[in-house]
Structure 1
Amino acid sequence: MQTPYFERPLFFFDQSRFRRALAAGNSITVFKDAISAANAQFNARFREGEDIRALVSDRALFIDCMLHYAWHQFRWNTHISLLAVGGYGRGELHPHSDIDLLILLEDDGDNPHLESIERLITFLWDIGLEIGHSVRSLNQCVDIAATDITVATNIMECRTLAGSELLRDKLREMTGPQNIWPANEFFRAKWNEQIARHDKHNHTEYNLEPNVKNAPGGLRDIQMIGWVAKRFFGVRSLRELAGREFFTDEEFGILMAGEEFIWRVRYGLHMIAGRAEERLLFHHQRELAQLFGYRDSDRRLAVEQFMHAYYRIVLALRELNDVLLQYLDEAILQSPDKQATTPINARFQLRDGYIEVTHPEVFRQTPSALLEIFVMMGRDPDIQGVRATTIRLMRACRNLIDDAFRRDPTNNRLFMELLGSPHGLVTQLKRMKRYGVLGRYLPEFGQVTGQMQHDLFHIYTVDAHTLLVVKNMRRFRHPEAQTLFPIAAHIMKRLPKHELLYIAGLYHDIGKGRGGDHSTLGAVDAEAFCVQHGLSPRETRLVCWLVEKHLLMSAVSQKQDISDPEVIHNFALEVGDQNRLDYLYALTVADMNATNPDIWNTWRASLMRQLYLETKRALRRGLEHTVDQKELVEETQLAAIDKLADKGLDEQLVRDLWGDIGDDYFLREGHLDIAWQAEAIWRNRHQDPLVLIKETTSREHEGATQIFIRTKDRDNVFAATATALSLLGLNIQDARLYSSVEGYTIDTFYVLNENDEPIGDDSARVEEIRQALLHELSLVDAYSDIIRRRTPRRLKHFAMPTRATLSNELHSSYTVLEVISPDRPGLLAHIGRIFLEFGIQLQNAKIATLGERVEDVFFITDKQGAPLSDPSLCKELQEEICRRLDQRVEEG
């Protein structure tokens, strides 16, 4: 048997002992034992912090050795070779990466090695190697590579493991750029491949569970740079490009440091997952954070610190990928000397649609040009972007953006002009962020770049979310917003100064990650910005108020009873005037839509509309004029009676139907719904239970499905209803429960389906829901089964203790219970059961699911309809809710 030819000795692997064992025993067992021991040794070295490049290289070297010995278990002639291709061909191997092999034949004819090849492949699988293999002749390789860019790329990095070295040399020559895939065609094909890959990841580095290999800024982006550069320059490694002006020393340092970090992450990910896992799933994020030495602090969790570092590194790699590929495109492949230039001013010119500096010293001679270039692009939508050489100059000169630069009135004016850009404001802000300008001009923004919160509610990093908020604000000006966001679109037409809204958007979350109330911290930063940039005192007060109160409107709409005139009056007092209401509404809607696509649904849209319109009426009426509740109840009753008269029901009959139902019913429900329910009760007075289903609105992007239930007031009605609706895949958004005359309860539930949409006019689905509710409600007298459904994977990895708080401050008629708990199937049914056990009457419920947690608000009373007043009962209720819901979470 031949002696291995390895360039570096395998100090951790005794080959002499291995050969003796092969000669003495079962070869499969010997190989498996050697691989198992090597894996354990590699993992121990990784945990001890050994250099990742040495580990990845040594793993590949060890597998080279195993394949060498495996190859020589069988007979071959000189017309065949075993080649490593792909990442393994580069000499890189992570714990569970595929070992990509090409068995290369010299001729196309009969294969005399067929039996040996089959036995070799079977042997490799038997010893536990995760191989990917192909068996091809030279001509077959060329034919396939000529039409498949991936195959051509894999072959480009091949190396010989065993057999004839001449075959590898022939293959490289036959598949070289002089024969197939010349450099320009190769470049275009790989760039299109990258665009398609980025598209699968929504062109963002900031996914909650990013793919370290394929997402933007991941390993593929690094490899992409290497592939196209190697193809053009004809080199085997990026290090051979030193001195060829392809990248600067700083760029090469970023590339190498970024690759090492991603390699460490990927290596650890494979190791703890026990498979070729490329997704940074939540539970893996936590394990890796601990493994890499991050620890929880008062301000941020260890996992948040780890992911902050990850996002900042992949952002830098994404930027470098853009610059280097654009540099190849324009400076190497497009023959820039043949492109005409169009002057813009003394500092900038256009070349083939891209803006560039007129000479290399522009930014050093005129630092304000670092902002001016983005203002230029905001003025002219035909400018496609910035040329790579100019991006490099910006990167080299961004250290000029210091305190003096930030205080310069010229720069302040330029930034405000940018905020007023007619075209592509968000595009320019993203470019500024990517090129490192925005985070330097606004250091507070630089602090939150790449910062994330470890939950399912905030699905973007703070910087990505912030720019998405501004993007949403700009969308409100577009024609489609008239349908999707009618109130916001109307507001944007009449706002006196859009820039104030954009500034509030930029600063609303800027205080996150510092400890303390981020709204208050952000307001301080916003005030400094406004003063620095010459805003008037009145404009400054508005921006600061918006930043400080940016969560107010969503909290009131989702957690308070906005059918209560007192709630509306208090909110109107807080807002103060119509101008602030308009700005706050636009900011809130933009913020909610930029936090998580699942947060803004048709029901929340209708709640926001209701709160806005009711507050607008209150402001118009005058804050000194409070609504008389008795007067409002009478108005609603008379309007419903008038409507019912058309249906043949006289006033006395209607009032008898209403019986002794409380005023809350007439305050919360509109007169049309009251009339609809009263008529249905009369027409179906002998039916129990009575279930009615309809849509709350005809507006396409607002509302929910309304389910009205009238049944005898028995135990478990709420728990049974909640269970049935959950089994049907319906999510309760709001619940209103009233006791009626003669021992009946009338309940209204507002629900959305699993896609956060109303049911619509699907009559079959409506009837399915009605029958399911009738069946479940028929069982309430002997009701004991609470829904048990499998908890989704993502939810299982977010453990947080349940919090239950009680308050009588917001309303004099009932106690407000807020429950914050991990989201689990059947949660509402469990809470309903607890209410039953404690003799609690549920009057109203506001249900909010925010990622992995729920923030539900229940308006409750005792059996006599009074707010809870017994401190010991309140304490016991809170403790029991926490205990039972936490037990549900543990059961999963």
Structure 2
Amino acid sequence: MSPTTPLLRQQYRARQAAVLASCSPNLATPCIRSTLRKLSNLADEFLLTLWRQAGLGKPCALLAVGGFGRRELFPHSDIDVLVLLPDSPTTSLDAARSAQIETFIRSCWDTGLEIGSSVRTVGECLEEATKDLTVQTALLESRCITGSRTLVADFRTRFRSIVDPQAFFIAKTLEMQQRHGKYEDTPYALEPHCKESPGGLRDLHVILWVAKAAGFAEDWGSLARAGLATPFEIRQIRRNEALLQRIRTLLHVATRRREDRLLFDLQNSVAQSFGYLAPEGDPRAAARPGERLMRQYYLAAKAVTQLREIVLLNIEERLRSRSPAAPRRIDEHFFDNAGMLDIASDDFYRRDPHAILQTFFVFQSEVGIQGLSARTLRALYHVQDLIDHRFRNDPVNQATFLRILQHPSGLTHTLRLMNDTSVLGRFLPPFLRIVGQMQHDLFHVYTVDQHTMMVLRNVRRFFLPEHVHEYPFCSQLAADWDKPWLLYVAALFHDIAKGRGGDHSVLGAKEVRRFCKRYAIAAEDAQLIEFLVREHLTMSRIAQKCDHTDPSVIAQFARYVRTERQLTALYLFTVADIRGTSPKVWNSWKSKLLADLYHSTSQMLGGHVPDIHADIRERQHDAIVELALHAQPYLSHKPLWDTLDAGYFMRHDAVEIAWHARKLSRYVESPTPIVRARPSPVVDGLQVLVYTRDQADLFARICGYFERSGLSILDARIHTTLKGYALDTFQVVSPDPTERYRELVNMVESELAHTIAIAGPLPEPGKGRVSRRVRSFPLPPRVRLRPDETGQRWVLNLSASDRVGLLYAVARVLARHGIDLQLAKVITLGERVEDTFLIRGSALQNQNTQLAIETELLAALG
């Protein structure tokens, strides 16, 4: 290390900090470009010093490439440089020159310049550029810092000759599509990557890259002069680019590293740097600072997405004009221009505002149209002011919107396009209020408008033959449904009132009632739509929190839905809604719960009067048939069945009853615990059977074992035989999707039996770690304890943020008070739990004890 290196490192850090401080305490948006340029110039200065100290000079050259090449250096971004060497054999890289370059690179790192370096001849650069699109892109933005200008000029001339603008455009757009796919093709992720996500800075870089490769423009100003974007569009691009650059810079400063993700635990700190505060007592500032920041980010990302599409289409059309194809006329106003819907003139919408919605109907109904042309997108972008109160109440526009909703194909793509172009929110003002609105309920992973689009997509798939394999039962029901558009309207409105305060289902029902009245939708259809919006959470709640093996629960739900038509619609809608929250929330267990509730309710609505004794006889008969298939001796099940009451047979199906009989018929009075496990027939996990003498802390011991083993309980069915034995069945899953459950069977059977047999006090629960999202958006724990309708048992509802050991902590509280557990519904919604227990015990009859139990449970949940 050179003696001057520590001093240079100290100087570089001090001057970098001074640059950041000179802009403003909050790195205000207007000066962010100047700040990034100053950081780039500072790096240039120190690189030049180190270059000279290393003794480097002609015939070599030092080039800045990538983002550093366009003088855009963020506080902790890599400083990408290229040491360019000539091809001449007389100046090949000898040992002395190699040592100088190594000294230069080492000195850069020692000084604190985190460089990404490459050392290549001109020929090697060209060879790598032809093989690697990333290298070609980086070299496209090269900038000479020092060295031989002749060498650099030769490199640039030869480099331009190998760049094929058309091929480069295609490659970069395909690369962009792949990148967008990594981020779920939406700018509305709750933790977006401000550089790589759709609508991020990288999308703007793509525009300049393809424009440079084609020789159309070098920067935003020349892009406008080339006629590829209007001055207004360039102003919008610059404004949103500066906002994204400011956010990225603040992320680097806040974390002191290269962090480009707007993580939950960073959103509020960045928002405060923007000046977003929530003073106490100010109702206008009720939203969290982070939510206000994210709303601004989403609007910027959406604008970038629209503008990127417009400009890239213009560039594509300019490239294609070298070999143009004649557009196909659709009618007097619309054309098919190479698969893109084009309009006849730029002022078309000003002359005929009705054509705004008509554009989307043509896009939806015309075969072969894949998108909107640059002219169409630009025209829509510039006439948003026309979509006002008069436009919304125009009968022609309302009729067109209904035609879009009722058209048999293309609805999902059309409404997404309407949302992406901001037409949907302007035409439906209540929808505009949920665009970019975050949800901090720990299980939605999309903003409200994107969740709405996901639900709409899911409902639509029920009616498409190519998706039958995804939703077999839903597709079967949808095949007999006469008006799919009623479900689409409900999907559009079901969460439209979120964020207003109050019950969003009730408020949404009022909104959709007004919509149906304004659009003259028939009374019967309007009633069904309103029912779905108001009750879209009801079926999920009953399926996941109530004991729907209880005929009274089914009877009450049947009275609620009233008709088979409403039941079917609510079932379809519930499946679509749950699947639209997060990929982690839906599973086959929830599918089974909903399907079982649907079938039981459908039978009751069809006139089937529940006969408990007949149902039990049928299940026993089917179980005996199942036993015979497994070659079990005749009446081998009788010793076990003689100890079981009607409640057991009502809560288990015939296959489970037969499995229990096969495993337990020889152990009815076993003095030691019996544990049997098998791959679950209903979820990707294990079904575990526990049979042992009942004890007060049994459920807690079992929960403790499963949680120590990394297995999550989805469902627990607790039963006590007439001889005082616990016969409990659990559905458990592993958080590791690659887990081989067959290999776990022997382990669970031996270890859990041993755990139950060990006497002694229950171990203390561990301090379970919580996720970043839970830390950033903690959910206040809630406990509700109430008697059931018979007054014989109690229903305990718990809601809290999920963490390891949570269920065990709850079970310890119940065991401490001698509470018997009869049924457990353990529902995990992303990173939030909604658990329901059916319990009984003498302690529950005392109000003081009830209060103590609730207090201890709140402490355990917290």
Q: Same fold (TM over 0.5)?
A: yes
CA deviation digits over 1:490-537, x for unaligned, max 9? 221122211111000000011112222111121111112112222112
What corresponds to 2:362 in structure 1?
Answer: 376
Match of 1:324 among 308, 311, 326: 311
**Cα root mean square deviation, aligned:** 2.8
Partner amino acid, structure 1, of 2:720 = S
Matched, 1:685 2:685: no
CA distance in 2 between counterparts of 1:375 and 1:874 reads 60
**Secondary structure at 2:296's aligned position in 1?**
helix
CA distance in 1 between counterparts of 2:685 and 2:401 reads 43
**Secondary structure at 1:450's aligned position in 2?**
coil
What corresponds to 2:751 in structure 1?
Answer: 772
CA distance in 1 between counterparts of 2:172 and 2:251 reads 27
- Residues 655 and 456 of structure 1: CA distance in aligned 2, closer, same or farther (over 3 Å): closer
The answer as to whether partners of 1:787 and 1:829 remain within 8 angstroms in 2 is no
CA distance in 2 between counterparts of 1:481 and 1:335 reads 39
What corresponds to 1:312 in structure 2?
Answer: 299
What corresponds to 2:80 in structure 1?
Answer: 100
Partner amino acid, structure 1, of 2:599 = L
Match of 2:728 among 747, 764, 771: 747
**Secondary structure at 1:262's aligned position in 2?**
helix
What corresponds to 2:375 in structure 1?
Answer: 389
What corresponds to 1:731 in structure 2?
Answer: 712
Partner amino acid, structure 1, of 2:697 = N
Deviation at 1:629? Answer: 5.8
CA distance in 2 between counterparts of 1:337 and 1:402 reads 41
CA deviation digits over 1:548-602, x for unaligned, max 9? 1100010111111111111111111111111111111111111111111121101
1:216-615 equivalent positions in 2, closer than 5 A: 216-233=198-215, 235-296=217-278, 300-330=287-317, 332-335=318-321, 338-479=324-465, 481-615=467-601
Matched, 1:850 2:829: yes
- Residues 500 and 142 of structure 1: CA distance in aligned 2, closer, same or farther (over 3 Å): same
Deviation at 1:264? Answer: 1.0
The answer as to whether partners of 2:216 and 2:226 remain within 8 angstroms in 1 is no
Match of 2:67 among 87, 91, 97: 87
What corresponds to 1:806 in structure 2?
Answer: 785
Give 5+ residue unaligned stretches, structure 2: none
Matched, 1:28 2:11: no
The answer as to whether partners of 1:211 and 1:278 remain within 8 angstroms in 2 is yes
CA deviation digits over 1:620-659, x for unaligned, max 9? 127xx6x57677667767876898898532898566423x
Deviation at 1:678? Answer: 4.2
CA distance in 1 between counterparts of 2:214 and 2:431 reads 39
The answer as to whether partners of 2:265 and 2:772 remain within 8 angstroms in 1 is no
CA deviation digits over 1:802-851, x for unaligned, max 9? 22121225553311111112211121111111111122111111111112
CA distance in 1 between counterparts of 2:544 and 2:287 reads 27
Match of 1:154 among 138, 151, 164: 138
Deviation at 1:30? Answer: 1.6
Partner amino acid, structure 1, of 2:415 = L
- Residues 655 and 155 of structure 1: CA distance in aligned 2, closer, same or farther (over 3 Å): closer
CA distance in 2 between counterparts of 1:288 and 1:869 reads 51
**Secondary structure at 1:709's aligned position in 2?**
strand
The farther-off stretch of 640-649 and 138-147 is 640-649
1:643-682 equivalent positions in 2, closer than 5 A: 647-649=633-635, 653=639, 656-658=642-644, 661=645, 663-678=646-661, 680-682=663-665
Match of 1:172 among 143, 149, 156: 156
The answer as to whether partners of 1:657 and 1:678 remain within 8 angstroms in 2 is no
Matched, 1:711 2:692: yes
Identity %: 35
Deviation at 1:361? Answer: 3.3
What corresponds to 1:47 in structure 2?
Answer: 25
What corresponds to 1:14 in structure 2?
Answer: none
Matched, 1:127 2:99: no
Partner amino acid, structure 2, of 1:82 = L
CA deviation digits over 1:161-202, x for unaligned, max 9? 2333333333222212xx111322322222222222223223
CA distance in 2 between counterparts of 1:642 and 1:235 reads 78
The farther-off stretch of 763-772 and 58-67 is 763-772
CA distance in 2 between counterparts of 1:393 and 1:642 reads 70
CA distance in 1 between counterparts of 2:169 and 2:36 reads 28
Matched, 1:141 2:125: yes
**Secondary structure at 1:738's aligned position in 2?**
coil
Partner amino acid, structure 2, of 1:316 = A
**Secondary structure at 1:473's aligned position in 2?**
helix
Deviation at 1:133? Answer: 1.1
- Residues 785 and 531 of structure 1: CA distance in aligned 2, closer, same or farther (over 3 Å): same
- Residues 607 and 80 of structure 1: CA distance in aligned 2, closer, same or farther (over 3 Å): same
**Secondary structure at 1:494's aligned position in 2?**
coil
Partner amino acid, structure 2, of 1:709 = V
The answer as to whether partners of 1:381 and 1:423 remain within 8 angstroms in 2 is no
Partner amino acid, structure 1, of 2:167 = E
**Secondary structure at 1:801's aligned position in 2?**
coil
Match of 1:72 among 47, 52, 65: 52
CA distance in 2 between counterparts of 1:165 and 1:496 reads 73
Matched, 1:870 2:846: yes
Deviation at 1:299? Answer: 5.3
What corresponds to 1:884 in structure 2?
Answer: 860
Deviation at 1:740? Answer: 2.2
CA distance in 2 between counterparts of 1:162 and 1:129 reads 17
CA distance in 2 between counterparts of 1:353 and 1:680 reads 64
The farther-off stretch of 318-327 and 765-774 is 765-774
- Residues 653 and 78 of structure 1: CA distance in aligned 2, closer, same or farther (over 3 Å): closer
CA deviation digits over 1:463-509, x for unaligned, max 9? 11111111111111233554432331122112221111100000001
**Secondary structure at 1:820's aligned position in 2?**
strand
CA distance in 1 between counterparts of 2:624 and 2:57 reads 99
Deviation at 1:449? Answer: 1.3
The answer as to whether partners of 1:798 and 1:822 remain within 8 angstroms in 2 is no
CA distance in 2 between counterparts of 1:587 and 1:798 reads 28
**Secondary structure at 1:323's aligned position in 2?**
helix
Partner amino acid, structure 2, of 1:192 = L
The farther-off stretch of 131-140 and 603-612 is 131-140
CA distance in 2 between counterparts of 1:513 and 1:656 reads 55
CA distance in 2 between counterparts of 1:476 and 1:879 reads 45
CA deviation digits over 1:678-731, x for unaligned, max 9? 45433223543122334664x7xx686432211011243212212222344432
The answer as to whether partners of 1:96 and 1:270 remain within 8 angstroms in 2 is yes
CA distance in 1 between counterparts of 2:34 and 2:648 reads 72
The farther-off stretch of 289-298 and 31-40 is 289-298
**Secondary structure at 2:800's aligned position in 1?**
strand
- Residues 679 and 453 of structure 1: CA distance in aligned 2, closer, same or farther (over 3 Å): same
Give 5+ residue unaligned stretches, structure 1: 1-21, 887-892
Partner amino acid, structure 2, of 1:136 = R
